[in-house]
Amino acid sequence: MITQCAVLFAFLAVGELIVWTTGVPVPSSIIGMLLLAAALRLRIVKLRHVEGVADFLVRNLGFFFVPAGVGVMRCMGIIRDQWLPIVGATVVSTFVIIAVTGWVHQLVRRYFSHISIHGHGVSSK
């Protein structure tokens, strides 16, 4: 379990290093997660090297939202004063995300149907 944590923290550290050296405006945890996903996909890291601790973290994911919930409760005065813009932004952004997701889905489907029609085989591995 300690080795699995070390693997996850190593990818987080590499993500942090990339953000620190390049100044890219992406959270280091996202970069680390993308690198880990690529390493898993390329079989550089085996699933068994991270599966146990990853399953534990996913099973206890709700616990990690408690600090965020407490932070929201501490700002209840601001939220109460600004509820209309918050709700408006939430509704508008939800519809924008749904529309963009649908558009990207259509593009991907068109791309893969074009590949299969023209005989460019896509490996399922």
Domain ranges of the chain: 1-82
Report pLDDT digits (tens) over 45-95: 999 999 999 999 999 999 999 998 898 899 898 989 999 999 999 999 999
For residue 41, the model assigns a pLDDT of 94
For residue 113, the model assigns a pLDDT of 86
Which residue bears the tokens 């953000």?
19
Report pLDDT digits (tens) over 36-46: 999 999 999 99
In this predicted structure, the answer to whether residue 120 has a pLDDT above a threshold of 80 is: no
Residues 6+ apart with CB under 8 A from 1: 52, 53
**Residue 19 structure tokens:** 């953000």
Q: Considering only CA atoms, which of 42, 47, 31 is closest in space to residue 125?
A: 42
3-state SS of 37-93 is: HHHHHCCCCCHHHCHHHHHHHHHCHHHHHHHHHHHHHHCHHHHHHCHHHHHHHHHHH
In this predicted structure, the answer to whether residue 123 has a pLDDT above a threshold of 70 is: no
pTM for this structure? 0.60
For residue 114, the model assigns a pLDDT of 79
Q: Considering only CA atoms, which of 108, 114, 5, 92 is closest in space to residue 49?
A: 5
